[in-house]
Amino acid sequence: MRFLNLLFLVFFLPNCFADNPTKQSCASVTEFTCQVASELRRGINLGNMLEAPREGSWGVRIDNDILEVVSREFSNVRVPIRWSNHASIGVDAKIDEDFANRVDQVIDTLLASNIYVIINVHHYSQLFGDNLHAGEYRVSPEVVEERLLSLWRQIANRYKNRSDKLIFELLNEPHGKIDSDRWNKLHQNIIKIVRDSNPTRIIMVGPMEWNSPRGLSKLGNLSDKNLIIQIHNYDPFEFTHQGVSYLPIKLPIGISCCSDAQRKTISDAFDTAQQWSKKNGYPIYLGEFGVSRQADVGSRGRYIAIVRDEAEKRGFGWSYWELASSFGVFDAEKKIWNESLRRFLLD
């Protein structure tokens, strides 16, 4: 009998886990989508590169070394892209072919390593009613929203034959003028357009309020079976965004992490996401979390370890914001990691 018990422990138990690799809630999606949600695992954002008004205008650009490093170390790479500023100003938003070729090159190099690649529409400032970035051009107000649909028609068509590992994320961080009513109609319309050319490709949709889990309760009109929900978590904000220059008020530097109260703000956000996911049956991916380089390195490492752990214990794949700029963990010129942070992301 003892022997049988032992046999059970050795052979049966590990198989239980092997058959159930994801803790994600997947009642509303296909088995394939559920599987992908569990395979996204760890990732990095190539931030401030292709979503700058022009590649390089925010100080960092994608090169072959970067593509090689990220595809070796990560199982997913999120590539934020500012298509709106590389397209004609009219309603048809014809995408500039040189820019699209550049994006093709980045996507195809990453896909060749068999990792997941998430592309999106990032920083279309006018859509949200935000101030434009330097170098971003204004279009006539009547065409702003329709241009987003035109962009997706072209993006979806251009990449319809790429591998299943290419994922479309419809819009980074809806906020401002894109309130819940508008977003719930808009994401449904974009999905219809994408589905004309990509009937089953995985699409990511995020909630209002800058993709915060707090916005999930207002996310509606979901019916597609190949959806993964993308959230962002920058709690505790005073810590993660200390000293950054682009906020209306510059937050003081010198805030450390992570006290019990700070840890709780992180786990509360994940609990909100997990509860929503269980209730609605869509799996979750953490597309952004990160901390400014101006925080002390010990706190940055502790923060990364905690967020990663909170995501992984719920089965959420994740992607750190970002590789080599003001939240970065890698020196793009010297091509070296910040070693004291690397291990928290990669070990």
Question: Which residues bind to ligand BGC, rule: CB under 6 A?
Answer: 172-173, 288, 321
- What's the min distance (Å) between Cβ of 340 and ligand BGC? 21
Is 51 tagged catalytic?
Answer: no
Integer Cα distance of 147 and 93 in angstroms? 5
Most distant CA pair in the chain, distance: 78
Render 273-302 in DSSP notation, one character per residue. Answer: HHHHHHHH---EEEEEE---TTS-HHHHHH
Count helices and strands in the chain by DSSP H and E runs = 13, 10
Q: Are 222 and 210 in contact (CB under 8 A)?
A: no
Closest approach, Cβ 321 to ligand BGC, in A, equals 5
The one catalytic residue among 55, 136, 288, 310 = 288
Q: State the nearest-atom distance from the C-beta of 288 to ligand BGC, in Å.
A: 5
Q: How far is the CB of 173 from ligand BGC (least distance, A)?
A: 5
Task: Kindly tell me which of 290 and 315 has the beta carbon lying closer to ligand BGC.
Answer: 290
Q: Which of 51, 136, 169, 173 is catalytic?
A: 173
Residue type at position 22: T
Nearest-approach distance from CB 71 to ligand BGC, in angstroms: 22
Structure token pair of residue 332:
């793009």
Distance CA 111, CA 71 (A): 9
- Shorter beta-carbon distance to ligand BGC: residue 169 or 173: 173
Q: Quick check: is 288 catalytic?
A: yes
| Closer residue to ligand BGC in complex, CB, 173/209 | 173
DSSP bridge pairs for 77: 44, 117
Q: How does 12-49 read in b/e, with b if 16+ C-beta sit within 10 Å?
A: eeeeeeeeeebebbbebbeeebbebbbebbbbbbbbbb
Asked if residue 228 lies in contact with residue 204, where contact means CB atoms within 8 angstroms, the answer is yes
- Closer to ligand BGC at the Cβ: 40 or 193? 40
The rounded distance, in Å, linking the Cα atoms of 259 and 43 is 26
With H, G, I as helix, E, B as strand and everything else as coil, classify residue 208.
helix
Q: How far is the CB of 247 from ligand BGC (least distance, A)?
A: 8
194-127-124 Cα angle (round to 5): 75
By annotation, the residues acting in catalysis are 173, 288
